Chains A and B, each alone.
Chain A
Amino acid sequence: MDLLSILQDLVTDYTLRTVSLGAAVLGFVSGILGSFAVLRKQSLLGDAISHAALPGIALAFLLTGSKAPLTLILGAAIAGWIGTLFIISIINNTPIKEDTALGLVLSVFFGFGLVLLTFIQKLPNASQAGLDKFLFGQAATLMERDVVTMTVLGSISLFFVLLFWKEFKLLCFNADFGDSQGFRMSLLNILLTSLIVIAIVIGLQTVGVVLMSAMVVAPAAAARQWTDRMGFMVFLAGVFGAIAGVTGAIISSITPRLPTGPTIVIVISGIVLFSLLFAPNRGLIWSWVRKRRNNRRLQVDAVLGDLYILATQHGNIEHGHSITVLRTMSMGHGGTDGSLKELELQQLARRIDSDKWTLTSKGYAKAENMIINDRDDE
């Protein structure tokens, strides 16, 4: 299938259009709110919330008997919210650490959700089909009303992010300072966490409980590599999330038996890997090149220094020094030959015999300068 017909399908095919749109909304919202979680070292909060939402979904269905997306999302949000309040109060009031509080709430809430699911299975008229998709995600069952619900809820939470941008930034980087300036940091914490809860529950239906945690962490982790500015990072995380959502939805729709949620996760993981490797400045390849260049420079400087020492010992710049002596002086660090060539290229050293080297007057001046500077630094 070529690109053009995919684009055509995006517009004309109802299922593909709905799924891609839903995945894009979910990726964008979770990318943006996930950035805050990642910056606050709460990457796994998303994992805990998405599991904690299960009993809410089940209870909402048991109480209302309705599978309308808004009802189930509301139930999920309330359960997720209660879960996070538990986490916050355990961390604040006991010596128990954050990771333990997260794991505790995650597993216990999810276990309780399973108990409720067994009750639902026993109901005579209710098939569990609509609830199953919240566990593992079934993007293909997304309908237009689901996407509308997701968009509305997502827009509301993004509106709050814009409204409290400055306060949330403060919360991420220096909450104590915020407190001292009179902001109610504990309330802001609850507000921000609640927005993250919303971002997660609107994605549950598309990618499922387990994989939703990836959509919180991965776009932000990728975006973080490209910039140090928070505004740009948050925006980029949203874009990455949306791209991963749409790409994953398209790939899984043109490949038979390829579930959407996991495909989206693999696409966003690919984006993370690419960012880790190739992002300018922070990226692994970039820093590898920088490190190599530094090493090279240090080696060249060391040989230059060695030649200078030999020259002062002999009291004669013109005296040639054997390359073996220089190799010995570099004490097995290697690269002597290459460094000499580099020095020759820069006209700092010159070859006298086949294997004898000495400094040029330019090289002598530079070495003297370098060594005096070093001494001053000490």
Chain B
Amino acid sequence: MTLAQFEIQLIGILVASACALTGIFLILRRMAMMSDAISHAILLGIVLAFFVTKDLASPFLIIAAALSGILMVSLVELLNGTRLVREDASIGLVFPLLFSIGVILISRYAGNIHLDTDAVLLGELAFAPFNRLSLFGYDLGPKSIYTISTILLLNIVFIFVFYKEIKLSTFDAGLAASLGFAPGLLHYALMSLVSITAVGSFDAVGSILVVAFMIAPPATAYLLTDKLTRMIWISVIIGSVSAVSGYWIAHFADASIAGSMATMCGVLFLLTFLFSPYRGIIAIMHRRIQQKWEFAQIMLTVHLHQHQDLPEHSFEKKMNHCHIHMKWNEKFTQRVIKLATEKNLITEKNGYLYLTKQGAATAEEAITT
């Protein structure tokens, strides 16, 4: 592994961690699409700041971009405040407008400068190691490592200091407001963090990967745990695994690094979606089938229970009569009888079914609860 390769992966892990930290709260607050909206809206800030500074490396670009992210959030809040459009629609109205203004400014006034929408949207991680920071002639490594580390640190500090407040306002905004926390202020603080994280990450990885890193790892973690602290750790780990594995896939397939990383985020989500022990599709399907058979067994015990003390109803206990009464088909009935016998709920004697003690208890419980 060369130094450049190591640096790219390190940047990937840093971006993944910074994005996961903010992304968790976005998805828990049901504002995941804000990440997409913000990552598009920052284009306008970048363009405007570029016209002023004429320097693509200027730190003002980051500040202006973060400000335009906040502008976008405020405009959305303003539109929501009119109650004329719903929140999802206001997001969908505001960010394409800001993005359009950005695109028009670029194509009218910045035609011959290297500032194109592709670069903002798609990013090129492979070039990140070439933009190096040097101090007194010493090479200190790629600039983006420092930018992103700073942002990651900012995120960690913010979440560490305001953990209780964020947690409360995320899960019970009403209680948070009544206890005197300012949910509105926290909302803007969080959105500012999202903007800054998006800006800091975009020139390394492009805005689409920012969105993937913000949403996919936390969503994957959400399928694995209900505890917030555990969710944070799992998201960071999943994001980092996606970054590293995505890099190597891109390396061997000679494909877009950002795209491969986003794809790996999706692959990890898909695997969890299918195989997660409790919330995965397969676990859910298995549980549904299990429940169907269990329910059928309970119904059978109830059926036998209803007729057990009445000799004139003895035909109801006949093995080959059950399916008529229960409106089951014969195969299904046989399977249920077999399962119930195995579980020692019923016994069979001369073609008649009888409840065991345990079966009677099951039926009683089903009837009374």
A: residues with CB less than 8 A from B are 38, 41-44, 46-47, 51, 89-90, 93-104, 106-115, 117-119, 122, 135-136, 210-211, 213-214, 216-218, 220-221, 224-225, 257-259, 261-263, 265-266, 269, 272, 276, 282, 284
Contacts and interface: CB of A to CB of B under 8 A. Distances in A.
Contacts of A217: 89, 92-93, 96
Contact of B266 (A112, A259, A269): A112
A280 to B, nearest CB: 13
B84 interface: yes
A11 B93 CA distance: 32
Contacts of B361: none
Contacts of B104: 258-259, 262-263, 266
A35 to B, nearest CB: 11
B216 A107 contact: yes
Nearest to B79: A276
Interface stretch (B24-32, B53-61, B129-137, B300-308): B24-32
Contact of A104 (B31, B258, B263, B266): B266
Contacts of B253: 115
Contacts of A213: 92, 96
29 contacts: A43-B86, A43-B88, A43-B89, A44-B36, A47-B92, A96-B27, A96-B222, A96-B223, A99-B30, A99-B33, A101-B219, A104-B212, A110-B262, A111-B261, A111-B263, A112-B262, A112-B266, A115-B253, A117-B259, A118-B254, A217-B93, A221-B85, A259-B103, A262-B101, A262-B104, A266-B101, A266-B104, A269-B96, A284-B84
Interface residues of B, number: 60
Contacts of B281: 89, 93
Contacts of B212: 104, 107-108, 111
Interface centre among B89, B101, B111, B222 (most CB of A within 10 A): B89
B195 to A, nearest CB: 16
B107 interface: yes
Interface of B: 27, 30-33, 35-36, 40, 82, 84-86, 88-89, 91-93, 96-97, 99-101, 103-104, 107-108, 111, 117-118, 121-122, 208-209, 211-212, 214-216, 218-219, 222-223, 250, 253-256, 258-263, 265-266, 269, 273, 279, 281, 284
Interface centre among A41, A103, A225, A257 (most CB of B within 10 A): A103
A133 B32 CA distance: 27
A266 to B, nearest CB: 6
B84 A225 contact: yes
A118 B88 CA distance: 33
Contacts of A113: 259
B222 A214 contact: no
B32 A99 contact: yes
Contacts of B273: 90, 94
Contacts of A44: 33, 36, 88, 91-92
Contacts of B93: 214, 217-218, 221, 269, 272
Given A107-B36, A217-B93, A100 B100 contact: no
Given A115-B256, A214-B93, 20 more contacts: A41-B88, A44-B91, A94-B222, A97-B27, A99-B27, A100-B218, A100-B222, A103-B214, A104-B269, A107-B209, A110-B262, A111-B258, A115-B255, A210-B99, A211-B100, A218-B93, A221-B93, A265-B97, A266-B97, A282-B84
